[in-house]
Amino acid sequence: MTQGNKIAWDDTVLPFQLDASDIRGRVARLDGVLEGILRQHDYPEKVEALVAEMALLAALIGQSIDLRWKLQLQVQSDGPVRMIATDYYGPTDAGEPARIRSYASYDADRITDAPAFDQVGTGYFAIMIDQGKGMTPYKGITPLVGGSLSACAEAYFAQSEQLPTRFQLSFGKSSTPNEAEHWRAGGVMLQHMPKASPFAASGEGSGDLLRAEDLVDGEEGENWRRANVLLDTVDALELIGPSLPPTDLLLRLFHEETPRVYDPQAVRFGCTCSEDRVRQSLSIYSSKDIEKMTTDEGRVTADCQFCGAHYDLDPDTLGFEAETASGS
């Protein structure tokens, strides 16, 4: 089903569980979200691919956080792509859309013809959860490993959370009749909730980092392996194509595992920047510092890296020594 050029299940995350296997998961489809993120920038295609993958991971992981919480995925590296920051904001109220924003910092002259993941070099993948005012944010990191950002996320869940987790993602440029070429993304996340794992307690596993298969054994391990074999049969068109709704995809992949679906979560591109936030960030500076930030035209300007919003401010209204009220 489509709505004009928009597919009805675009920009949604569908949570599900496999009753026969004690496995939960999500199916995500992104279209307008990626358009909102990428149209703000003129990224090289390799950078666009990394940003699209991060946004898709944020949608799949973020669906489980509570209302008004914030999830941030971040990559820091010594490669051509120095940083990718992706924020997922939980809905403000039940039934409302979640919001995603993302941007990347990179050195254009260092981008190569190598695969997208090779552009991030050595560094770390981080997951942070902010539960709101008065709560200590949670942060966990893992090395950039495995040949993809999704492999980094799998390593994070195995190492930091002891949760066997698997992602199967597809993303790329798509074009249809009467529609300009644009990025689309789709993916499935599986997560097993084991009662306990002997490896989680001992720190043993495969090499220095735990893997999903290190965390389950016996019947749980067999269930996990079976679900992964079934997930491996999915193809890219099934993940991002227009003809297979997420519910039908789950039945095609996991009909013997008794899939149960829940209400889908809508996601939208959205930024939280504002003039008030810019002013707050500048409130720690003295008038001398503000003077150094002032342009030859006598203004202080700031641009949002996420959405491209431009702020043009009177320097006399900024900093803790402001001479003029901001409203005047």
- Is 148:154 a contact under the CB 8 Å cutoff? no
Give the list of residues 6+ apart from residue 288 with CB closer than 8 angstroms, or none: none
pLDDT at residue 204 greater than cutoff 80? no
Q: Is residue 168 part of a domain?
A: yes
- 79 in any annotated domain: yes
pLDDT of residue 170: 95
Do residue 248 and residue 141 come from a single domain? yes
Helix (H, G, I), strand (E, B), or coil: what is residue 14?
strand
Inside any domain, residue 6:
no
DSSP assignment of 136-180? PPEEEEEES-TTSHHHHHHHHIIIII---EEEEEEEEEE--TTS-
Is residue 5, in this structure, part of any structural domain at all? no
List, for residues 23-55, the tens digit of each pLDDT value: 999 999 999 999 999 988 899 999 999 999 999
Share of the chain above pLDDT 70, in %: 88
pLDDT at 210: 63
pLDDT of residue 326: 57
Q: Specify whether the CB–CB gap between 270 and 306 falls below 8 A.
A: no
Answer yes or no: do 235 and 289 share one domain.
no
Mean pLDDT estimate for the chain: 85
Q: Are residues 200 and 286 in the same domain?
A: no
Number of domains within the chain: 2
pLDDT of residue 296: 87
Residues 236-287: tens digit of each pLDDT: 999 998 888 999 999 999 999 999 999 999 999 987 777 787 788 778 888 8
Within this chain, do residues 94 and 240 fall inside the same structural domain, yes or no?
yes
The reply to whether 183 and 291 lie within a common domain is no
Inter-CA distances, 147 with 50, 122, 143, 170, Å: 12, 12, 11, 15
53 sits in which H/E element? helix 45-62
**Does residue 4 form part of some domain?**
no
pLDDT for 51: 97
Say what the pLDDT of residue 203 is: 37
- Asked if 93 and 227 sit in the same domain, the reply is yes
Q: Residue 284 has what pLDDT?
A: 81
- Same domain membership, residue 294 and residue 178: no
Taking the C-alpha atoms of residue 68 and residue 88, their distance in angstroms, rounded to an integer, is: 10
The region of weakest confidence among 37-46, 121-130, 198-207, 221-230 is 198-207
**What pLDDT score was predicted for residue 174?**
79
Residue 302 belongs to domain spanning: 276-317
**pLDDT tens-place string over residues 50-109:** 999 999 999 999 998 887 789 999 999 999 999 999 999 999 898 899 999 999 999 999
Query: Does residue 27 lie in a domain region?
Result: yes
Give per-residue pLDDT as tens, 123-179.
999 999 988 777 788 899 999 999 999 999 999 999 888 899 999 999 988 766 667
pLDDT at site 195: 58
- Is 305 part of a structural domain of the chain? yes
Confidence band for 328, pLDDT divided at 50, 70 and 90: very low
> Is 99 in the same domain as 229?
yes
The answer to whether residues 257 and 281 belong to one domain is no
Q: Are residues 119 and 231 in the same domain?
A: yes
- For residues 306 and 184, which has the higher predicted lDDT (pLDDT)? 184
Residues 236 and 284 in one domain: no
Going from the C-alpha of 206 to that of each of 134, 141, 144, 159, 313, the distances in angstroms are 39, 18, 16, 11, 55
Among candidate residues 170, 188, 169, 171, the one with its CA nearest the CA of residue 227: 188
Residue 175 sits in a domain of what CATH number? 3.55.30.10
Q: Would you say residue 322 lies in a domain?
A: no
Are 123 and 138 contained in the same domain?
A: yes
Residue 213 φ/ψ, nearest 5 degrees: -70, -15
**Which one is predicted more confidently, 129 or 306?**
129
Contacts of 259 (CB under 8 A, 6+ apart): 16, 17, 18, 19, 250, 251
